[in-house]
Amino acid sequence: GDGGFGNILVRQRGTKYHPGDNVGMGRDHTLFSLTSGKVKFDKKHAGRTFVTVEPTI
């Protein structure tokens, strides 16, 4: 997907998705973009899914 600066990427209860690079997390566990770029969902250690934003040039 395409994440713009400040755009909400995931609304969730609990941390089903964890913030990765260039992603912030609000008090209600909402994940939002810190920069414009391409959104990626990566499965990493312990079965956790991280949401990252790769900046576009």
How many other C-beta atoms can be found within 10 angstroms of the C-beta atom of residue 40?
A: 15
Residue-range domain boundaries for the chain:
2-55
Q: What is the pLDDT of residue 6?
A: 79
**Which pLDDT does position 3 carry in this prediction?**
67
10 three-class SS? strand
Tell me the two tokens of residue 14. 């609990």
Give this prediction's pTM.
Answer: 0.84
pLDDT at residue 5 in the model:
73
pLDDT in tens, the chain (57 residues): 676 777 999 999 999 999 999 999 999 999 999 999 999 999 998 899 999 999 987
Given CATH 3.30.210.10, say whether it is the number of domain 2-55: no
